[in-house]
Amino acid sequence: MPSGPNQLQSKIVADALNSAIPGVVKTLTDDWVEVEAQQIEECLLWLRDSEEFDAAQLSNLCAVDYHDYFMVVYHLQSLDLNHQIVIKVRTQDHSDPIIPSAVSVYKGALLQERETYDLMGIKFENHPDMRRLFLWDGFPGHPLRKDFLGIGGGRTSGLNRFPFENESDPVRVINQDNRVDDSDSQESPSSWGGA
Amino acid sequence: MESLGVVIAFYVLSTITIGSALAVFLLRNLVHAIVLLVLSFLGMAGLFLTLSADFIAISQILIYAGAISVLLVFAVMLTPLGSRDNANSLYINIGAPVGFLISLLIGFMAWNTSWNELSSNEIKQRDFTDTIREIGDQLLDKHLLSFEVASVLLLFALVGAIILVKEVKKEEDLIVESENS
Amino acid sequence: MTTSEPYVLNIGPQHPSTHGVFRIRVVMDGEKIQDIDMIVGYLHRSMEKLAEERTYTQNIPFTDRADYLAAMSGNLGLCLAAERLAAVEVPDRASHLRVIFAELQRIASHAMANGTLVSDAGAWQTPLLYMFREREKILDLFEMTCGARLTTNYMRIGGVAFEPPPEFWPALDELVNELPERIDEYAQLVQENEIFVARTRNIGIISPEDAINGSLVGPALRGSGVPWDLRKTEPYCGYDNFEFEVPVGTVGDVYDRFMVRLEETRQSTKIIQQAIDSISDGPHKTDIPLALRPEPGEVYGRVEGPRGELGFYLVSDGSPAPYRFHIRAPSLINLSLLRDMARGASLSDAVVTLGSIDIVVGEIDR
Amino acid sequence: MTPKIPSSNSTSATPMNRQIAARPTLLGFVQNFSIKTKLILGILGLIFLVGNGLIAFIVIDGRLDGKWYDIRDLGYSIEFLRTKLASNNQELILGYTLGDVLAYWVPAVIGAVGILSFLGGFLLIGSWIERRLLARFQIRTGPNRVGPYGLLQPIADALKLMQKEVLIPIGADKMLFFLPPILVFIPAMLTWGPIPWSANMSYLDINVGLLYVISITSLSVLAVWMAGWASNNHYALLGSMRTVAMMVSYEIPIGLSLLSVVLMTGSLRLSSIVSWQADHYLWLALIMPFAFFTFFFSSTAEINRTPNDIAEAESEIVAGFHTEYSGMKAGLFLAVELGNALLTGALVATFFLGGYTLFGLENWIPGYLILAGKATLGYFFFIWLRGTLPRFRIDQLMSFAWKYLIPLSIAHVLLIAVEVSIVARLESVEWLIYILFVVFNVLITIYAVRSWAKAIGYTSEIEHPQQPVFATQMGGIKAARHIG
């Protein structure tokens, strides 16, 4: 049984997806369908335009850190048919995850993908404006990762000190490549990037 | 002939007028030059006042200090940042002889005019209280033709400005030129 | 030669019309906007990270501080999601109380949104303060019930924290009785104002297709003519037992969004009245374990907050704290289309458009 | 059933509400006076009125010289004092006698001190009035902490502003940044010159008074532009350019509306305009309502008041041209704004509402009190607008000026010119003609404004209401995507 009240049976979604784009579904549970990472854009486009599913709106996009890999979760919904579809994507590696962007399909993914990149460090390919959203450029690390602050592998991720407290901080050493640059360097619109 | 106050006022106002006009010429900063030009206009208005020409003085303030300066402000604001300096030295080779010739002309005319020197008694008798009615009468009576010609000219300028604005969308500089002229 | 040079205008982080510490860098050509870039994060508190260290109940105060103008709705969203995750039943009286408080919060929040919108249009705070009149009374009711006016922290997993005090009910009756009249007054104050109408009609139009594709929710989506309201489509807390209408705009401009909000406050009054009439005796809370340990799994619970779909994506690994706690912030996602709307508009229109989207910076940044 | 226990004091359930309910009010204070106090206050008020009336009577009756100061009377005054002081007719300085000096300086000082102290007093009390009134419009209390009923609030504000540091932004043009707060003050003060405060009571009763008013007020543009330019701030520059554009546009309707005034009264001298209205027992606002409206509306644009306060539109460009000014410099801008509002009230009163006259009442009440009352009424009206209306957009304002006000003003000038020539030919039944004109002008103004608006393609937004529809009327939620 799917957990959401109006959620579609993921089996139906998976079958339809597989018949449209062969071999795209990787795993599937009651709740969600996991699809091939490189084909997510295609998948979403098909779901959006199909008569049967009509996933017109991207309701929510976020990512979950499972220590070894990330799951990016797409909550789609149809406003006509009043149902929800949950699609997931697993990233290949944990250190530098990259998946295709959904902005070309859903404009609403614009800020959500930037947020995910900022806090989780997942890069979205072909996103028109892939910059950090909340934190400043040069912030060391991505705070929502379970191994933020270098306490890798452990279950707890306590933020025991702020990254910039003093120079001799070991945390500082880990992130020494990233320089803190909070200056207003983007005076000209051309350097803002994006469409 | 004149009371001392008027004489003092004349010299102070002339100093202000000529001084600020010179500064307009010499200053590098175009914006400062505009401000000083307005000061020069105001000094001129004061000079008119010393001659009991109240209407002309007020018109000087209204038209030159109030309106022309705003026009200049617009011109400056529409000028690109790079050329916003008082580039007078560029044209000094042409400007100096032209200016010299003009002042020569004015001087010659001043010399040549038979000034109607009024005695202080005559001045006292003359009524300066209602210059404006006299000006109005003169304009609509003796100088009616020139008055009408001037108004038609202004109408042409107005229509021309509108046509320029409507037509030339890509070359906005023409608009400013028409405003400046 | 004259050319017009584009220049960069920094609107915010401290600016009267950004409603908080929100910053927009605008490339302007005279009065026209060529391009904008939003810079958010001045109020970022990393709530989602902090929440992974706390139990579900301990996370409820975070929702107060996310959307600080609609704390009750945030409380409700988290509680509903956690209840679904842990399979907790809610007593009927608690559901009714939740509906009453959530709808009161909606009225208060819409009053704020509409008031600030008119202020952005240049009315010197008069409509804002008029709309604050009812908001004050609602906040008084909150204060009576849970001791706080903004950060209420009132709902709990399995019900609500407190039974309202005895003087709450007559005050609520009085408020509900006078509200329709007051809302008519606001409608008249603004609708018959030619200047306001001229400033908002046909400004910042969003087409229904764009609104859906841009993930717009709430009054922003309904203003564009899409009848979508989670209280109708995915009823929670027994909303299917109440009769109310979903107002929908016809053009999709600023004025429509304003009017949709105003009409929603009317409908909320109706819902509150029905909830008062149908509330029954009983416990206001079911007892749950102090450290709730839901089964491993995930849930995406959502409510129709004042700003639209307020979602909570919770992932449990069986421990008392959520493994992942994500807030789907409508304020942030509604801004997806701001750049498209602002391009080519004048500065004054952009300000009004931003006001009509009704952002809360606490929720954007979290 | 539900535990709805009735409670008597439900509205004052919170401590804050109780505190608010217990707060004293001005009305309550007056009502709580004993009957004796009320009587004494009433008698004092009567004495004040009667005393003023007596003074006015003496002044008007010629027992004292009614002339206060007038540049045209300088010569007469000098002669008068010269003869009076003939015994002491020795040269004092630079050929001037004591009589000359006195005749020049005494009235000048009296007039300047009079006007400035009135203005200064008003600037102090005016900000209190504005804040209290606005608070009343906005159902709040307003300043009520400093002094009785917050009356000392303006002084506290001024002290606060004086203590604050005056910042000069990096990259500012220091000279131009320093000047504007002073420069905006000059036109604001000078414009008070030709306004007649009472019969023969005018600081500068020149025969080009009306032109003087227009030209001096147009000077403040430059100060505003300098402030915006020198601040090195985009908000300030935007605000100042908006001001410049708007002032240039709105000076034309102002000039045209005043032109009709000149046509009708046949004089540019402000005291003559007032006495024309007094002689005919007819306010110009009645006979030319369009000019009255145009002048009032355009004045709101000139002095940056709502609904035309786009130059310092708070929600858009923070504070407009004085964004970067702090401390007392910002205070000066605010004071000028306030003074200008009062000045505009006085100008409207002088041009259109009979100035210091009030249908013969000016013989019993001093004219300056009547004028101050009318000016304050205008100021009240500005506060009212500020508490009520939103702001126009700049393009809306511009098109309003160029498309509506200017063409209609030109037509209006023609209309008034025709009417003046009719009056000149039918002087015997002048009063009847004027009554006819009042009725005709009101009707033609309404008709012309409506038909012009229609001709130019304007449709009232309110007449075509745009209401949200309900989802059930649209066929429910399912129709979501297919709405046109």
C234 vs A: CB within 8 A: yes
Residue of A nearest to D478 (CA): A80
The whole-angstrom distance between B64's CA and the closest CA on chain D is 10
Residues of chain C contacting residue B81, judged by C-beta atoms under 8 Å apart: 5
Q: pLDDT confidence of A180, banded at 50, 70, 90?
A: very low
| Mean pLDDT to the nearest integer, B87-96 | 70
The pLDDT value given to residue A152: 40
The C-alpha atoms of residue C193 and residue D453 are separated, in whole angstroms, by 18
The pLDDT value given to residue C67: 86
Closest CA to B61 of B40, B30, B35, B34: B40
The pLDDT value given to residue A157: 46
Print burial letters for C124-152: b (CB count within 10 Å at least 16), e (below 16).
bbbbbbbbbbbbbbbbbbbbbbbeebebb
Domain assignments of chain C as residue spans, ordered by start = 48-365
C184 vs D: CB within 8 A: no
For D47-79, the pLDDT digits (tens) are 877 876 666 555 444 433 444 444 444 445 555
Enumerate residue ranges in chain C where pLDDT < 70: 1-4
The pLDDT value given to residue D484: 36
Residue of A nearest to D482 (CA): A80
For D391-423, the pLDDT digits (tens) are 888 888 888 888 888 888 989 999 989 988 888
Residue of A nearest to D477 (CA): A80
D222 vs B: CB within 8 A: yes
| Block residue for tokens 């004494």 | D40
The pLDDT value given to residue A193: 39
Q: What CATH number does the domain located at B1-85 have? A: 1.20.120.1200
**Are D481 and A82 an interchain contact pair (Cβ–Cβ within 8 Å)?**
no
DSSP, collapsed to helix, strand or coil, labels residue A148 as helix
| pLDDT tops 50 at residue D8 | no
Minimal Cβ distance to C5: which of B80, B172, B176: B80
The mean of the pLDDT values for chain B is 77
Residues of chain D contacting residue B131, judged by C-beta atoms under 8 Å apart: 207
Closest CA to D477 of C231, C329, C330, A84: C231
| pLDDT tops 90 at residue B102 | yes
**Are D176 and B67 an interchain contact pair (Cβ–Cβ within 8 Å)?**
no
CB atoms within 10 A of CB A185: 9
| pLDDT tops 60 at residue B177 | no
The pLDDT value given to residue D63: 37
Those of residues 324-363 in C touching chain D at CB distance below 8 A are: 346-349, 351, 355
The mean of the pLDDT values for chain D is 78
The C-alpha atoms of residue D108 and residue B148 are separated, in whole angstroms, by 43
Question: Comparing A8-22, A172-186, D45-59, which segment has the lowest mean pLDDT?
Answer: A172-186
Mutation target to probe the D interface, by most D beta carbons within 10 A, among B62, B158, B166 is B62
The C-alpha atoms of residue A141 and residue A139 are separated, in whole angstroms, by 6
Residues of chain B contacting residue C2, judged by C-beta atoms under 8 Å apart: 78-80, 172-173, 176
**Are B58 and D212 an interchain contact pair (Cβ–Cβ within 8 Å)?**
yes
**Are D211 and B69 an interchain contact pair (Cβ–Cβ within 8 Å)?**
no
Q: What CATH number does the domain located at A1-100 have? A: 3.30.460.80
Q: Report the range out of A180-184, D97-101, D122-126 with the highest average pLDDT.
A: D122-126
Domain assignments of chain A as residue spans, ordered by start = 1-100, 139-180
For A40-97, the pLDDT digits (tens) are 888 888 888 888 888 888 889 989 888 788 889 998 888 888 888 888 888 888 788 8
The whole-angstrom distance between A195's CA and the closest CA on chain D is 25
The pLDDT value given to residue D348: 92
For D237-288, the pLDDT digits (tens) are 888 888 888 888 888 899 899 999 998 888 888 888 888 888 888 888 888 8
The mean of the pLDDT values for chain A is 74
ipTM over 0.95: no
| pTM of the predicted model as reported, rounded to 2 decimal places | 0.80
**Are C124 and D306 an interchain contact pair (Cβ–Cβ within 8 Å)?**
yes
CB atoms within 10 A of CB C89: 9
The pLDDT value given to residue D476: 64
The pLDDT value given to residue B152: 92
The pLDDT value given to residue C116: 87
**Are D386 and C124 an interchain contact pair (Cβ–Cβ within 8 Å)?**
yes
**Are A59 and C335 an interchain contact pair (Cβ–Cβ within 8 Å)?**
no
Q: What is the DSSP string of D278-299?
A: HHHT--HHHH-HHHHHHHHHHH
The whole-angstrom distance between A56's CA and the closest CA on chain D is 9
User: C48-365 adopts what CATH topology?
Assistant: Cytochrome-c3 Hydrogenase; chain B (1.10.645)
The pLDDT value given to residue B126: 60
Touching subunits for chain A (3+ Cβ pairs under 8 A)? C, D
Half-sphere exposure of D344 (CA within 13 A, CB side): 28
DSSP, collapsed to helix, strand or coil, labels residue A95 as coil
Closest CA to B157 of B136, B141, B130, B175: B175
Taking one residue from C and the other from D, the number of pairs with CB-CB distance under 8 angstroms is 191
**Strand (E) or helix (H) holding C27:** strand C23-29
The C-alpha atoms of residue C191 and residue B51 are separated, in whole angstroms, by 59
| Mean pLDDT to the nearest integer, D150-165 | 85
The whole-angstrom distance between D7's CA and the closest CA on chain C is 6
For residues D192 and B39, the answer to whether their CB atoms sit within 8 Å is no
Domain assignments of chain B as residue spans, ordered by start = 1-85, 126-181
C212 vs A: CB within 8 A: yes
Print burial letters for C29-53: b (CB count within 10 Å at least 16), e (below 16).
eebbbbbbbbbbbbbbebbbbbbbe
D211 vs B: CB within 8 A: yes
Residue of B nearest to D210 (CA): B58
